[in-house]
C-alpha cells in the first residue's frame, strides 16, 4: 500500500530481534525521515470502492420467496397456560430435489423433561436458562394431516402423517426434532398443504418463552418446519441450549384469542380485532418473515409512537414508564441509523415488549417485528443498559430477521454481526460514553466488547456451531463480543467507508435470503481485498489473535565523525563532538513485535522531547520491525496503536515504551484514587 511519502513499507524478515528496518522509497540514504503526520487510510488503499447496486435500497427485493406459509389460530387458556393451536402449513419445494420427508421443530418439548437435549447439554455457567423451570412445557401434536400434496388424489381424504412420524431418534429421548415421512415424494416446485392441531403447554418462563402469573411470552409455540436448504436437505437439529432458530420465509396469518382483559402484542400489524364472548381476538398478518411470536398480559401499559415511518408499540409493566421512554429514545436513533446502513426496514410495525422483572428470562429476544427488552424500573441516567438492550434487539430485525442466517450452525453471523451493528449505532448516537457516561467516566460499548471478547479469544474459535461451544460464557464472549470487536477493529483500521460498504452490501444483497460465512467473507473481500478477507477468516475461524508489543527503545546523542573532510567548500576540520556551529543530533530506534496470528496494519507514534510526534505505519507483516529515528529532539517514547484502532490487541499495557529511566507521570491516577479513598475512609474516621 502507498500513502504518499508518509508510508513506510515493512519488509518481512526472518524472525530476529534485529528485525527489518523501515525504509521509505524516496528518502536520502544517510537518514530516514519519518513523516510528521500520517495520512488516514482511505479508499485508494483498497482494490475498489466502485459503486455497487447494493449500495442503495433500489437493489432491495420487494418480497421474500415464499416457502412456508402458516395460517394459524391460537387460543390461550390462562389457567392451564396452554395455547391450543389449529392451522395450516402450505409448503413449496423450492429445491431441485424431490422430498420424501419433512422435518418439524417442536421446540417447546425442550422443556418437557430433563432428558431433552436442551437440559442434557453441558452448558456450564455464564448463560441463561440453566435453572429447571417451575413448570414444565410441552408441545403435543394432536393432528398432522396432509390435505393436499404428493399421494393425495383430488377429493380424497387427508392423510395422517403423524402416525408415522419419528418423534425421537433411536436411542435418544429428545422430542424437538421430528421426522415426518411423506406418502409420496414432493417434486421440485410443487406444493403441499398440511392441517395441524396441537397444544402448546407453556413452561414457566425459561429461555425467552413461557408464563409467569398472568404474563405470557409465546415463542416457538407451533410445529415449525425446518429450513429447506438449496440442495434439498432440511437443516434440522434438536434444540440445543445455546442454539436458536432457522426457518424459511413465508406469510404468517395468525389469529390470537386471549381473555378480554389481556393486552396483546404480536408480530405484524393487526388486520382485525374484536372482543367477543369475553375474549379478545386479533388477527395479525405478516409477509416476508420466518417466525411469529406474541405476548399477552393483563398489566401491560401501552405506548405508541411513529418512528421513521414505522408504527412502534411499546408494551411495558406499570411503573416502568421512564425506562420505556429511554427505550423509545434509543429507537428514534436506531431506526434511521439502521435504515441508512443496511437498507430500509420493510415492515410497517415494530412491537417492543418490556417483560416484568419476575419474567426477566423472557427479555432480550428477537422475533420478526417483535422484540423483548427488559431490566428494572430504575436505572441511573448515565448507564445506558436499557438503550443497549433496545438497540441490540432491534438490530436483530436485520441480522437474523432480514438476513436469515442459520443461528444454530453459525451464531456469530447474527449475534456477532448484530453486536457490531449495535456498538456502531450506539457509538454514532452517544459517542465515547455509549454505555456509561457518569461522573466524568465514559465507557464505550466497543471497549466493553473488546475486553469481554478478548478473554476467550484463544480458547476456541468464534465461527462454530452453537452446540459445540465449551460453555455459555465462551459462547457469549466469542459469538457476541469477539465478533463485534473484530468487525469494529476492521472499521477503525481499514476505514469506515469500506467496512460500511461491505456490511451494507451484504445486508442488502442477502435480504430475505440465508447466507453463510462465505458470503460475509466475500463481502469484505470485495471492498477490502483478499488479504483483509484472510485476516477476517483467521480471526473468525482460527482463534486469530494479536498482541503488538514494544520490545525496546533506544535514543542517544550522536556526533559527526571527527577529522579532516574535503568538500566543495574546501577542507573542514571536525572536532570530536560535532561540527562547529552544528546542531547536536540524536538517533535511536524502537523495536516492535507482533505476536499472534493476525496481521493487522497498525499505527506507531514516536514521541519526542520537544512535544512533537512522528508517525509510521506497520502493515503487520513479519514478526518484528525496527523503526529508526533521527533528529534533534530526543526520542522519549513510542506508542503502538495510539488511537486504539486494534481492539483485538490482547494486551495494551505492552504497547508503549520509553528509554530506560524515563517514566510517565501517574499523578492523575494517584490523585483520583486518593481522593475517592479519602471519601471512603470517612466511614471509619472519627
**Chain residues in the site for another protein (CB under 8 A):** 299, 317-320, 356-358, 376-377, 431-433, 436, 439-444, 446-448, 450-451, 454-455, 607, 636-639, 644, 647, 651-653, 656-658, 662-671, 673-675, 677-682, 684-686
Q: How far apart are CA 228 and CA 93, in angstroms?
A: 8
Q: How far apart are CA 558 and CA 618, in angstroms?
A: 27
For residue 638, the minimal CB distance to another protein (Å) is 8
Query: Contact 465/478 with Cβ under 8 angstroms?
Result: no
For residue 347, the minimal CB distance to another protein (Å) is 30
Q: Which is nearer to another protein, 208 or 316 (CB)?
A: 316
Bridge-based pairing of strands 234-235 and 227-228 is antiparallel
Q: Which is nearer to another protein, 167 or 451 (CB)?
A: 451
Q: Which is nearer to another protein, 135 or 298 (CB)?
A: 298
For residue 210, the minimal CB distance to another protein (Å) is 17
Q: Which is nearer to another protein, 282 or 445 (CB)?
A: 445
Q: Which is nearer to another protein, 281 or 608 (CB)?
A: 608
For residue 663, the minimal CB distance to another protein (Å) is 5
> What b/e sequence results for 177-190 when a residue is b if at least 16 CB atoms lie within 10 Å of its CB, and e otherwise?
bbbbebeeebeeee
For residue 585, the minimal CB distance to another protein (Å) is 21
For residue 673, the minimal CB distance to another protein (Å) is 4
Cβ neighbours around 16 below 10 Å, total: 11
Torsion of CA 599, 603, 604, 605, to 10 degrees: -170
Q: Which is nearer to another protein, 143 or 299 (CB)?
A: 299
For residue 682, the minimal CB distance to another protein (Å) is 7
Q: Which is nearer to another protein, 108 or 636 (CB)?
A: 636
Bridge-based pairing of strands 370-372 and 349-353 is parallel
Q: Which helix (H) or strand (E) segment is 201 a member of?
A: strand 191-201
SS3 337: helix
Q: Give strand pairing partners of 141.
A: 198
For residue 602, the minimal CB distance to another protein (Å) is 15
Q: How far is CA 153 from CA 28, 150, 189, in A?
A: 88, 8, 18
Q: Which of 552, 530, 649, 551 is nearest to 600 (CA)?
A: 649
For residue 8, the minimal CB distance to another protein (Å) is 20
For residue 666, the minimal CB distance to another protein (Å) is 5
For residue 462, the minimal CB distance to another protein (Å) is 19
> 195 is written with which cell numbers?
392441517
Q: Which is nearer to another protein, 76 or 443 (CB)?
A: 443
Give the sign of the dihedral formed by CA 322, CA 396, CA 266, CA 237: negative
Q: How far is CA 82 from CA 105, 248, 666, in A?
A: 18, 26, 63
For residue 672, the minimal CB distance to another protein (Å) is 8
548 phi, psi to nearest 5 deg: -80, 140
Q: Which helix (H) or strand (E) segment is 411 a member of?
A: helix 411-411
Q: Which is nearer to another protein, 28 or 679 (CB)?
A: 679
Q: Which is nearer to another protein, 599 or 652 (CB)?
A: 652
Q: How far apart are CA 434 and CA 443, in angstroms?
A: 7
For residue 550, the minimal CB distance to another protein (Å) is 8
315 phi, psi to nearest 5 deg: -115, 120
For residue 612, the minimal CB distance to another protein (Å) is 12
Q: How far apart are CA 181 and CA 158, in angstroms?
A: 15
Q: Which is nearer to another protein, 87 or 375 (CB)?
A: 375
Q: Which of 31, 92, 397 is nearest to 248 (CA)?
A: 92
126 Rama class: left (phi>0) / alpha (psi -120 to 50) / beta: left
For residue 398, the minimal CB distance to another protein (Å) is 25
> 261 is written with which cell numbers?
382483559
Q: How far apart are CA 52 and CA 210, in angstroms?
A: 45
443 phi, psi to nearest 5 deg: -125, 130
Q: How far apart are CA 296 and CA 451, in angstroms?
A: 38
Q: Which is nearer to another protein, 150 or 452 (CB)?
A: 452
Q: Which is nearer to another protein, 147 or 662 (CB)?
A: 662
Helix, strand, coil % over all residues of the chain, rounded to 5:
25, 30, 40
For residue 330, the minimal CB distance to another protein (Å) is 19
Q: Which is nearer to another protein, 15 or 358 (CB)?
A: 358
Q: Which is nearer to another protein, 544 or 637 (CB)?
A: 637
Q: How far apart are CA 571 and CA 83, in angstroms?
A: 103
> What b/e sequence results for 305-335 when a residue is b if at least 16 CB atoms lie within 10 Å of its CB, and e otherwise?
eebbebebbbbbbeebeebbebbbebbebbb
Residue 49: HSE in the Cβ half-sphere, 13 Å Cα cutoff: 17
Report CA 565 to chain centroid distance, whole Å. 66
Q: Which is nearer to another protein, 269 or 379 (CB)?
A: 379
Q: Give strand pairing partners of 181.
A: 101
Cβ neighbours around 299 below 10 Å, total: 16
Beta strands, E only, 622-668 = 624-631, 635-640, 656-657
Amino acid at each position: 500500500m502507498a500513502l504518499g511519502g508518509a508510508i513506510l513499507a515493512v519488509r518481512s524478515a526472518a524472525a530476529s530481534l534485529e528485525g527489518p528496518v523501515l525504509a521509505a522509497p524516496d528518502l536520502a540514504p544517510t537518514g530516514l525521515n519519518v513523516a510528521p503526520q500520517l495520512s488516514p487510510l482511505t479508499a485508494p488503499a483498497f482494490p475498489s470502492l466502485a459503486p455497487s447496486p447494493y449500495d442503495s435500497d433500489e437493489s432491495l427485493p420487494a418480497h421474500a420467496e415464499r416457502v412456508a406459509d402458516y395460517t394459524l389460530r391460537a387460543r390461550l387458556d390462562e389457567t392451564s397456560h396452554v395455547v391450543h393451536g389449529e392451522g395450516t402449513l402450505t409448503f413449496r419445494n423450492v429445491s431441485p430435489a424431490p422430498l420424501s420427508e419433512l422435518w418439524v421443530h417442536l421446540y417447546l418439548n425442550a422443556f418437557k423433561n430433563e432428558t431433552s437435549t436442551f437440559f442434557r447439554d453441558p452448558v456450564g455457567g455464564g448463560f441463561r436458562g440453566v435453572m429447571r423451570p417451575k413448570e414444565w412445557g410441552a408441545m403435543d401434536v394432536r393432528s398432522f394431516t396432509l390435505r393436499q400434496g404428493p399421494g393425495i388424489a383430488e377429493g380424497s381424504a387427508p392423510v395422517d402423517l403423524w402416525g408415522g412420524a419419528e418423534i425421537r431418534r433411536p436411542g435418544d429421548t429428545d422430542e424437538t426434532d421430528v421426522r415426518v415421512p411423506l406418502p409420496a415424494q414432493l417434486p421440485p416446485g410443487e406444493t403441499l398443504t398440511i392441517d395441524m392441531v396441537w397444544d402448546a403447554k407453556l413452561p414457566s418462563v425459561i429461555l425467552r418463552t413461557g408464563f409467569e402469573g398472568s404474563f405470557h411470552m409465546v415463542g416457538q409455540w407451533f410445529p415449525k418446519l425446518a429450513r429447506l436448504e438449496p440442495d434439498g436437505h432440511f437443516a434440522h437439529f434438536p434444540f440445543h441450549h445455546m442454539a436458536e432458530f432457522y426457518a424459511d420465509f413465508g406469510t404468517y396469518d395468525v389469529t390470537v384469542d386471549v381473555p378480554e382483559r389481556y393486552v396483546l402484542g404480536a408480530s405484524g400489524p393487526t388486520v382485525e380485532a374484536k372482543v367477543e364472548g369475553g375474549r379478545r381476538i386479533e388477527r395479525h398478518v405478516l409477509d416476508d418473515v420466518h417466525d411469529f411470536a406474541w405476548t399477552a398480559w393483563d398489566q401491560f401499559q401501552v405506548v405508541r409512537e411513529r418512528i421513521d415511518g414505522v408504527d412502534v408499540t411499546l408494551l411495558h409493566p406499570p411503573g416502568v414508564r421512564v425506562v420505556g421512554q429511554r427505550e423509545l429514545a434509543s429507537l428514534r436513533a436506531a431506526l434511521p441509523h439502521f435504515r441508512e446502513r443496511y437498507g430500509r426496514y420493510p415492515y410497517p410495525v415494530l412491537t417492543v415488549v418490556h417483560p416484568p422483572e419476575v419474567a426477566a428470562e423472557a427479555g432480550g429476544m428477537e422475533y420478526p417485528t417483535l422484540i423483548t427488552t427488559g431490566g428494572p424500573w430504575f436505572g441511573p441516567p448515565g448507564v445506558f443498559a436499557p438503550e443497549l438492550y433496545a438497540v441490540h434487539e432491534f438490530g436483530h430485525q436485520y441480522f437474523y430477521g432480514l438476513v436469515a442466517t442459520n443461528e444454530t450452525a453459525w451464531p456469530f453471523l447474527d449475534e456477532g454481526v448484530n453486536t457490531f451493528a449495535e456498538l456502531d449505532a450506539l457509538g454514532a448516537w452517544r459517542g465515547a460514553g455509549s454505555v456509561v457516561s457518569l461522573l466524568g467516566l465514559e465507557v464505550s460499548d466497543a471497549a466493553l466488547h473488546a475486553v469481554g471478547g478478548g478473554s476467550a479469544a484463544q480458547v476456541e474459535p468464534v465461527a462454530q456451531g452453537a452446540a459445540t461451544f465449551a460453555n455459555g460464557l465462551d459462547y457469549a464472549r466469542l459469538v457476541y463480543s469477539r465478533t463485534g470487536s473484530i468487525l469494529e477493529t476492521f472499521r477503525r483500521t481499514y476505514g469506515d467507508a469500506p467496512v460500511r460498504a461491505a456490511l451494507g452490501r451484504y445486508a442488502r444483497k442477502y435480504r430475505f435470503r440465508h447466507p453463510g460465512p462465505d458470503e460475509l467473507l466475500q463481502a469484505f473481500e470485495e471492498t477490502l481485498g483478499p488479504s483483509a478477507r484472510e485476516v477476517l477468516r483467521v480471526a473468525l475461524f482460527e482463534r486469530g489473535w494479536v498482541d503488538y508489543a514494544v520490545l525496546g527503545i533506544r535514543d542517544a546523542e550522536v556526533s559527526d565523525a571527527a577529522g579532516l573532510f574535503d568538500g566543495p567548500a574546501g577542507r573542514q576540520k571536525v572536532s570530536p563532538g560535532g561540527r562547529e556551529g552544528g546542531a547536536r543530533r540524536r538517533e535511536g530506534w524502537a523495536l516492535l513485535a507482533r505476536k499472534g496470528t493476525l496481521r493487522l496494519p497498525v499505527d506507531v507514534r514516536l514521541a519526542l522531547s520537544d512535544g512533537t510526534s512522528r508517525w509510521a505505519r506497520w502493515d503487520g507483516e513479519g514478526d518484528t520491525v525496527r523503526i529508526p529515528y533521527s533528529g534533534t529532539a530526543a526520542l522519549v517514547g513510542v506508542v503502538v496503536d495510539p488511537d486504539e484502532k486494534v481492539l483485538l490487541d490482547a494486551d495494551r499495557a505492552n504497547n508503549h515504551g520509553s528509554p530506560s529511566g524515563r517514566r510517565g507521570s501517574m499523578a492523575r491516577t494517584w490523585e483520583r484514587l486518593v481522593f475517592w479513598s479519602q471519601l471512603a475512609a470517612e466511614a471509619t474516621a472519627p
